[in-house]
Structure 1
Amino acid sequence: MARVAIVTGGSGGIGQASALKLARDGMAVVVHYGGNRDVADETVKAITEDGGKAIAVQADITEPASVAAMFDQAEQEYGGVDVIVHTAGVMNQPTPLVDVDFDTLDRVHRINIRGTFAVAQQAARRVRDGGAIVFFSTSVLGLNLPGYTVYNATKGAAEAITMILAKELRGRDVTVNTVAPGPTATKLFLDGKDEETISRLANQAPLERLGQPEDIAEAVAFLGGPARWVNGQVMRVNGGIA
């Protein structure tokens, strides 16, 4: 029986690349989207045309009942859930702490922390034994760059959830890990940045390029598939930046 994966934020960027990769690896994929059904349908179409299985499911990740309903649909369609890949999140424009607007703080924290917690709670309750849970952080967390207090605080929370949940699931044979990408050519990363900034960030890595969503998807597939002895870890996938 094929393993079943839910990929939040699966309609674009790293989430879409992860959904496509997991499907190519033989998993049935639930492609979650927040508001853009058309892009989610495109991802599903790409998977099914390649011979895979996928459905698109809408959910508000900040609302526990909506997340639970997404898991319900996955179980009804495919019989259970084995892998959770939680890529959905937001990033604010880098801003010094003294200038942070609290509406921005609340919005980013609600999506990135409350959303992660809601997904984590359902995953902990419902992922089948032998499964895998993959959260997302950022390599920026290790660089402590000025202006990133809001975003880094939310990703620090994701890493904390990872470490503790891995221990709380003792005896279940369920792994819990986090992927922490470096600069990656996604809409989330590129929005609001000029060419000079993008070039400077790309050249931070010894490989002298931005990561591609497919680079990150390779790490996701490893943690969601064969990496059964990797647990409670943060994998920094950044081309060697830090």
Structure 2
Amino acid sequence: MVSAKGTKSHIHRIFCSVAQKFHSHQHYDAEKVERSKNIAGTSLRGKVAVITGSSKSIGAAIAKALAAEGANVIINYAKDGKSAEEVAQQINSASIASTSASISLPPTSTDVQKNGPNGVELPPQQQAVLIKADTSTISGGQYLLQETLRMFGRLDILILSAGLMGSKTLSEIDEPFFDAHFDSNVKAPLFLVKAAAEVMERPGGRIIFLSTSLTASSTLLPNTLCYVASKGAAEQIARVLAKDLGTKGFTVNTVAPGPVDTTLFRIGTPQHVIDSIAAQIPSHRIAEPEDIAPIVAFLASPAAQWVNGQILGVNGGYVV
């Protein structure tokens, strides 16, 4: 025989169990709704993006693609300031011409106009700014990050586009050649990511490495030894970081282009070799930097929040 007190206790336990399940369901739905709010398509409005090595070629195309989606972009260069200025001017001209763009950026050290109330310094309407820094060194990467934070106070997107691509066979390489590739393509980017991860906006930070489809290709030339080895190392670093930094709400991915028609690609490459490579691509052409940039822009966007730790071959079917 069950006492009234026992019956009351049993009913209380059932009620608590049902309430707990109901509360958990509500909590789950609330989290789901909150995640859906964070999915804002591919717009990068209000984001701050650093693109290393963005004065020309793929890096420049990436900077323009991110700016077209509304991001404030850092054009980074080590030597070619003229090309970097041209990229920034193109972006800023397009921003001014657009009636829908209204992005106010912090002042640079040399370009400030005193036109605010009581002579307060106001920044010019710029969407792209320049920072000279040698990102093949750890100190150069640290300087780039510090200047970005000084200007904008935040960092949302880090694109590791700068790199070294030398051509020497095993019999030709020496220690300085090897070290230069691994410093530029592996060591410096890793430590830049380490520093950036401490200050990037979370959740939602985006880190994207640039590699090469040669890491997965069977048509390799002997003189790509150090380049392919260093890019392969960077790919594996990105895979591991996706597991690590994913706990902070970041994504870490790698874009691996195939042959791209850049000055660097054409130097020392005979036209008949270029034609032969193009013949191996279904569309029978070499990629342009603008073929690569939209994929990077997508990975940098909120819409790509569920793409993490991936190596995306963007090569037109050159490597499948």
TM-score, normalization by structure 2? 0.72
Largest Rg, 1 or 2: 2
Give 1 or 2: higher strand fraction.
Answer: 1
Rounded to whole Å, the distance in 1 between the matches of 2:271 and 2:304 is: 37
Corresponding position of 1:49: 93
Give the whole-Å Cα distance in 1 for the aligned partners of 2:191 and 2:88: 24
1:58 and 2:132 matched? yes
- Provide runs of 4+ in structure 1 moved above 3 Å: none
Whole-angstrom distance in 1 between the partners of 2:286 and 2:251: 29
The answer for the alignment partner of 2:98 in structure 1 is none
Please state whether the residue corresponding to 1:119 is helix, strand or coil: helix
* C-alpha contact (below 8 Å) 1:63/1:118 kept by paired residues: no
Aligned AA (2:311): V
Shifted more, 187-196 versus 111-120: the winner is: 111-120
- Mapped pair 1:5 → 2:81: no
1:149 aligns with 2:229: no
1:161-192 per-residue CA deviation (whole Å, 9 max, x = no partner) reads 10111111132211000000000011221111
Q: How much does 1:126 deviate? A: 2.2
Distance in 2, matches of 1:141 and 1:170, equals 24
Q: Greater relative contact order: 1 or 2 (C-alpha under 8 angstroms, separation 6 or more)?
A: 1
Note closer, same or farther for the CA distance 1:99–1:73 as it changes in structure 2 (3 Å cut): closer
Correspondence 1:27-176 to 2 at 5 A: 27-51=71-95, 53-93=127-167, 95-129=168-202, 130-144=204-218, 145-147=220-222, 148-176=224-252
Identify unmatched segments of 5+ residues in structure 2: 1-44, 96-125
Q: Is the 8 A contact 1:90 1:188 kept in 2?
A: no
Q: Which has the higher mean CA deviation after the structures are superposed, 165-174 or 229-238?
A: 165-174
* Aligned-residue RMSD, C-alpha: 1.4
Q: Conserved in 2, the CA contact under 8 Å of 1:86 and 1:119?
A: no
- 1:191 is matched with which residue? 267
Within 2, Cα distance between the matches of 1:96 and 1:89? 19
Q: Which runs of 5+ in 1 are unaligned?
A: none
Aligned identity (percent) is 37
Query: Take 1:83 and 1:216, find their aligned partners in 2: how far apart are those partners?
Result: 17
Superposition TM-score, scaled by structure 1 size: 0.95
- Residue 8 of structure 1 contacts residue 88 of structure 1 at CA under 8 Å; is this kept in 2? yes
| 1:119-142, Cα deviation, whole Å (9 max, x unpaired) | 222232222111100001100111
Q: Give the corresponding residue for 2:118.
A: none
Q: Is the 8 A contact 2:136 2:163 kept in 1?
A: no
Aligned residues: 241
